Structure 1
Amino acid sequence: MSCIRLRLLHAENTGFDRQRRHLLGLGAASLLGGLAPGALISPVAAAPIPAGTRLRIAQYKGGDRLLLAAAGLADTPYAIDWAEFASGNLMVEAMNGGSLDLAYGSEIPPLFGHLAGANIRVVAVIKGDVNEQTVLVPKDSAIRAIADLKGKRVGYVRATTTHYYLTKMLAEVGLGFADIQAINLSVPDGASAFRTGQLDAWAIYGYSVPLAQTSVGARVLKRANGYLSGNYLYFSPPQAIADPARNAALADVFLRLQKAFAWRQANPERYAEAIAPEIGVPVDAVLTLLRNESQPRRLVAVDEAAIRSQQDVADTFLKSGVINRQVDLHPLWDRSFEPVLNGRAG
């Protein structure tokens, strides 16, 4: 597969990690065991889906496949090939190479993909949590504020939310990436480096945060609330959007996800019990993260506010010198699924 490389102007220590693990091995039946029959919901697709339709969908560990199964929504009338990735930038690469029909990440990976000419379009928006996006330090660290990171070894994941909120946090105290030892690491490599004392701080997201807290007693230096919009973007290749069969299946996936997010909000204990074994985090740690969410998780249609939010990210990166040209992001966005997501499908 020919993958596009998302180049930045910044001098970095490492390139993108291409390690990816495919086909998550959890079956729906094992997840649904112990869940109440009332969790089962039967969404109606917006259009007929031809027999034999197949979607290739990316997810994070413990992601959408598990959620749909736990909510009783995994029995789709089309096949899904799930592939697991550690970050959105890797999903952009895979989609540009023709391997995916649907993926999601923060506003940042599609931005850099668009700048590099990736063949993707943003088709839906998750309104999600930002409190799990944090800068962590070792429990006994003398670092107490972002200003203390000057000269320190700070891990992050290039072209993701960590790149963005770390840029903004540093700028607030008069620092930039040149003032720290910024080390671009994949999520697994960052976890290893942090655990073994090779990092003074780690800008990271998701379930890596409670994992680091429970395994090595990591301390939160600063959360990204106030720096991130909370928008997480589903993106697809234009070919999938234009194909009637895949378009109908994607619409059905979105309907299921809307219901699954609502189920997740109403059943945090059941969701925590389903996901905790998969991600290797205690149920209580998952519940703590869920109860600390900055906003309820929901799936909404593309709108101008979401486009402006990503444009603000691009403008921030331009001002800070991370990118070298102004870009209009409107061509990256596609409103094809707006009727379905707004409940107006025929």
Structure 2
Amino acid sequence: MKFQPLHFIPNWSRSKKQKGLCRNFSIVFALGSFLGLAIATTTSHSENATAAYPIAANLSNVTLRASKYKGGWDLQLKLAGQDKFPYKTEFTEFTGGNFIVQAINANAIDIGSASEIPPIFAVQSQGAVKIIASIKGPTVGQVVLVPKNSNAKKFTDLKGKKVGYVKATTAHYFLIKMLAQEGLTLKDVNAVPLTIPDGLSAFRRGDLDAWATYGYAIQQAQKDGAKVLKSAKNILSGNFTIVAAPSAIADPNKKAAIADFLCRIQKSQDWQASNIEAWSKNYAKAIGVDETFVLKDAKEGLKQRRSLRGQATQVLPISQQAIASQQDVADTFYRAGVIPTKVDVKPLWDGSFTNAINKCK
């Protein structure tokens, strides 16, 4: 596959039909993929709002522009009672991490979340983005699907077949890794990059022999009888990143707001882990998926995270382990010929929020 450079131009000028399709799907955390939706909601600061940790800054005139996925940060913060900000917040909805990175590069938002992968493509395209923290998330809900009438039993059965995937995302990465495990490369299949909505439509029409995807689009496809050929549960690191605009970090007041926001995310995650059924009920309603599916995946993901770290998901300051994990992903893309040159990911990481994250109680 030839590398196609990502051009960091906001991709929000979509048709109403396409926008409607995108709003029907959700992606867990930063399992990144395409098509940003300019659906912004604004929360004004209140007189009673207090910062999540003590900060010496004037936040009353600050507007923090944050990304969200459907049923994401804004819902989680509200359910946890962490949405009384001492600054204004604007949430813009996206369906994937690489468009969030594009929006940050275009100075359209200040903070967002993505998997390890979109920032790698940002480096390759000389985009302006910094990773300020990481989240250890679940790796469930990341699979290669085949249609109900498929005869494929193992990955080698896909040789020469049409396989959809979501470019510059975890799906792109684990497809490469799964193929490599069988001595194959992307050149051995007819790999087709598709957005989540377009991929689901193509899969349902029978245009794909297999589909590397993630999130609740999986359950949507399984309603039609789709089968899991292989899971990426033991392939992915589970590392997700919180990314910010360098210009926002350079602004002392906005930087203080970001630090406060990180603490609120941490607290909302703690609430979610302790109220998994309440969260699942509200999340399922927000994304239009059966609550049974959401609760099952949420419990499995929580169990997996606790087995790895002894605790639920939390916001973590940057670490050498997280940097090394992302570097391994970047090297995998280089060896696969997806990016033309080796990428050093270390300059992406900004440790200036470490103290604020550690002080969050």
Q: Same fold (TM over 0.5)?
A: yes
1:20: how far off?
Answer: 2.9
CA distance in 1, matches of 2:173, 2:346: 20
Call closer, same or farther: CA 1:42–1:241 in 2, change over 3 Å. closer
Question: Match for residue 246 of structure 1?
Answer: 254
Decide whether the 8 Å contact of 2:67 with 2:100 is kept in 1: yes
1:155 paired with 2:148, answer: no
2:282 aligned partner, one-letter code: A
1:123: how far off?
Answer: 0.4
Call closer, same or farther: CA 1:136–1:92 in 2, change over 3 Å. same
Call closer, same or farther: CA 1:248–1:25 in 2, change over 3 Å. closer
3-state SS in 1 of match to 2:359: coil
2:325 aligns with one of 309, 312, 315: 309
2:255 aligned partner, one-letter code: N
Call closer, same or farther: CA 1:58–1:207 in 2, change over 3 Å. same
Decide whether the 8 Å contact of 1:26 with 1:66 is kept in 2: no
1:328 paired with 2:344, answer: yes
Identity of aligned residues (%): 42
1:260: how far off?
Answer: 0.8
1:82: how far off?
Answer: 0.9
CA distance in 2, matches of 1:300, 1:46: 19
Decide whether the 8 Å contact of 2:57 with 2:252 is kept in 1: no
2:61 aligns with one of 33, 42, 52: 52
2:300 aligned partner, one-letter code: N
* Deviation per residue, 1:231-275 (Å, 9 max, x gap): 111111111011011101111111011111111111110001111
Call closer, same or farther: CA 1:259–1:157 in 2, change over 3 Å. same
Question: Match for residue 209 of structure 2?
Answer: 200
Question: Match for residue 104 of structure 2?
Answer: 95
CA distance in 2, matches of 1:62, 1:307: 28
1:225 aligns with one of 213, 233, 238: 233
3-state SS in 2 of match to 1:72: coil
Decide whether the 8 Å contact of 1:23 with 1:81 is kept in 2: no
- Alpha-carbon RMSD across the aligned residues, in angstroms, is 2.4
1:304: how far off?
Answer: 0.8
Question: Match for residue 119 of structure 1?
Answer: 128
Decide whether the 8 Å contact of 1:49 with 1:78 is kept in 2: no
1:302 aligned partner, one-letter code: I
1:244 aligned partner, one-letter code: P
1:286 paired with 2:294, answer: yes
Question: Match for residue 28 of structure 2?
Answer: none
1:185 paired with 2:197, answer: no
CA distance in 1, matches of 2:173, 2:295: 27
Question: Match for residue 334 of structure 2?
Answer: 318
Call closer, same or farther: CA 1:148–1:313 in 2, change over 3 Å. same
Decide whether the 8 Å contact of 2:42 with 2:91 is kept in 1: no
* Deviation per residue, 1:13-34 (Å, 9 max, x gap): xx99754322367999xxxxxx
3-state SS in 1 of match to 2:229: strand
1:200: how far off?
Answer: 1.4
Runs of 4+ in 1 over 6 A off after TM superposition: 25-28
Decide whether the 8 Å contact of 1:45 with 1:255 is kept in 2: no
1:42: how far off?
Answer: 7.8
CA distance in 2, matches of 1:218, 1:126: 30
3-state SS in 2 of match to 1:228: coil
CA distance in 2, matches of 1:198, 1:153: 8
Deviates more, 1:61-70 or 1:139-148: 139-148
2:277 aligned partner, one-letter code: E
1:9 paired with 2:2, answer: yes
Give structure 1 stretches of 5+ with no counterpart. 1-7, 29-40
1:300 aligned partner, one-letter code: L
Call closer, same or farther: CA 1:20–1:317 in 2, change over 3 Å. closer
CA distance in 1, matches of 2:344, 2:108: 26
Decide whether the 8 Å contact of 1:87 with 1:187 is kept in 2: no
1:194: how far off?
Answer: 1.4
CA distance in 1, matches of 2:163, 2:341: 27
Question: Match for residue 22 of structure 1?
Answer: 38
